[in-house]
Chain A
Amino acid sequence: MNRVLGALKATYNFFSGDAILLGAAVLAFAVGWLLAHPLNAPDAVVAVVFVAIIVASLFVTLRREIAGRPRQR
């Protein structure tokens, strides 16, 4: 069991290693697909939402990295 968990953790670290980035990528694809297919939203809307989620994930994970750090002058 420990080996299975170890292998899963190694795979997770290899591909992402960051739960925020992983969750956001899943969200971007899920929301993008929902907008593009069942909702038939225009391409521009799907593209903007898709890219916005990706960039937002980078912002959120970076914000977590600096949490608690003092801002230097």
Chain B
Amino acid sequence: MGLLSGPLVGVLIAAFLASTVEFVEAFTIVLVVGVTVNWKSAFIGMAAATLTLVVLVGVFGTALVIFIPLPVLRTAVGFLLILFGLKWLKKSVLRYAGVKALHDEEAIYEEQQAEMRARGERPSNAIDPFGVVTSYKSVLLEGLEVAFIVITFGSASASSVAARASGITYAAVGAVGALILVAALGAVIRAPLQRVPENTLKFVVGVMLTSFGTFWGGEGIGINWPGEDWFLLALIAFYLLATFVLITWLRPYGKHSAKAAGANEIAAAGEGH
């Protein structure tokens, strides 16, 4: 494996993990549409949203790779990845410390299903425009972050145009792998994917986005990192350590244990309906 393949493997892993989190969230809504309306509408909406995302990645990814000089691209990508990474890290640190309730797919599923039933949606065989649009919107909104990560990660991961194009391919492969995994799990389980450790995935992805963002953003403003690409590992280790310190500091302020947080969300969803 050459030096190039290290960051590319990181790109693939980060895209896969980030996509898994987003697709699990989108799958919950697709499942609600499938169960409450029909699977035909749910799948049409999902397929249309996936197609939209593929077009977005193709158009914007190609444009970035061809037209934007690498230093400018790395500065911009670094900046955006740091923002994204810190946003994800903040949420997951607050959840680990118990300051914020954990994301609960079961509660969200029940809430969404009650909302759709309240609208008068009932199972039928015909394609339902509301079901298609609901499924399309959820996959598109969750998938936009995935598309963004695929484009930025892939396009900034190497120096030559050809290698940058393959970077986008690596990131896209990670995202598609996550989509296939979530879809396959969902098809087998036919229930909200509660057991996927969403917060842990969000935490890992937050660390990776922030580390890659720092690395590329730093290169963009003129920092020559010691050890070049290998310095990414030092940044990952540093951010892991820093966030563990922050979680330990915040823990006394948290009122939710992990289980209690989930139970609270379910109770709140139940009270709402």
Q: Which of A18, A47, A55 contacts B223 (CB under 8 A)?
A: A47
In the complex, whether B90 has a CB less than 8 A from a CB of chain A is yes
Q: Which residue of B lies closest to A55 (CB)?
A: B242
Q: What residues of chain B lie closer than 8 Å to A47, measured between beta carbons?
A: 218, 223, 225
> Which one, A15, A58, A69, contacts B246 given CB within 8 A?
A58
**Chain A nearest CB: distance from B94 CB in Å?**
6
**Given A29-B221, A36-B221: A62 and B82 interface contact (C-beta under 8 Å):** no
Is the CB–CB distance between B86 and A25 below 8 Å?
yes
A61 proximity list for chain B (CB < 8 A)? 86, 90
Chain A residues with Cβ below 8 Å from B222 are 32-33, 36-37, 46
Judge if B176 is at the interface, Cβ distance under 8 Å. no
Q: Is B210 an interface residue (CB 8 A)?
A: yes
A62→B90 CA distance, assembly (Å): 7
Tell me if A71 counts as interface (CB < 8 A to partner B).
Answer: yes
Residues of B within 8 A of A7 (CB): none
Contact at B87–A29, with CB atoms within 8 Å? Answer: no
**B125: CB under 8 A from chain A?**
no
Is A62's CB under 8 angstroms from B93's CB? yes
Instruction: Tell me whether A71 and B252 are in contact in the complex, defined as CB-CB below 8 angstroms, given that A47-B223, A65-B94 are known contacts.
Output: yes
**Contact code string A49-67 (vs B, CB < 8 Å = 1, else 0):** 0110011011101100110
Mark each residue of chain B from 220 to 259: 1 if its CB lies under 8 Å from any CB of chain A, else 0: 0111111000000001001100110010001011110000
In the complex, the answer to whether B87 meets A16 with C-beta atoms within 8 Å is: yes
Q: Looking at the complex, which one of B86, B90, B223 makes contact with A32 (CB distance below 8 Å)?
A: B223
Extra inter-chain contacts (4) besides given A46-B221, A72-B252, CB under 8 Å: A21-B90, A29-B217, A46-B218, A54-B210
Which are the 6 A-B pairs with shortest beta-carbon distances? A36-B222, A66-B253, A32-B221, A33-B221, A16-B83, A21-B86
Q: List 30 A-B contacts (CB under 8 A).
A: A14-B144, A15-B80, A15-B83, A16-B83, A16-B87, A18-B86, A21-B87, A21-B90, A25-B79, A25-B86, A28-B217, A32-B217, A32-B218, A32-B222, A46-B218, A46-B221, A46-B222, A46-B223, A47-B223, A50-B217, A51-B214, A51-B235, A55-B239, A57-B86, A58-B242, A62-B94, A62-B246, A62-B250, A65-B90, A71-B252
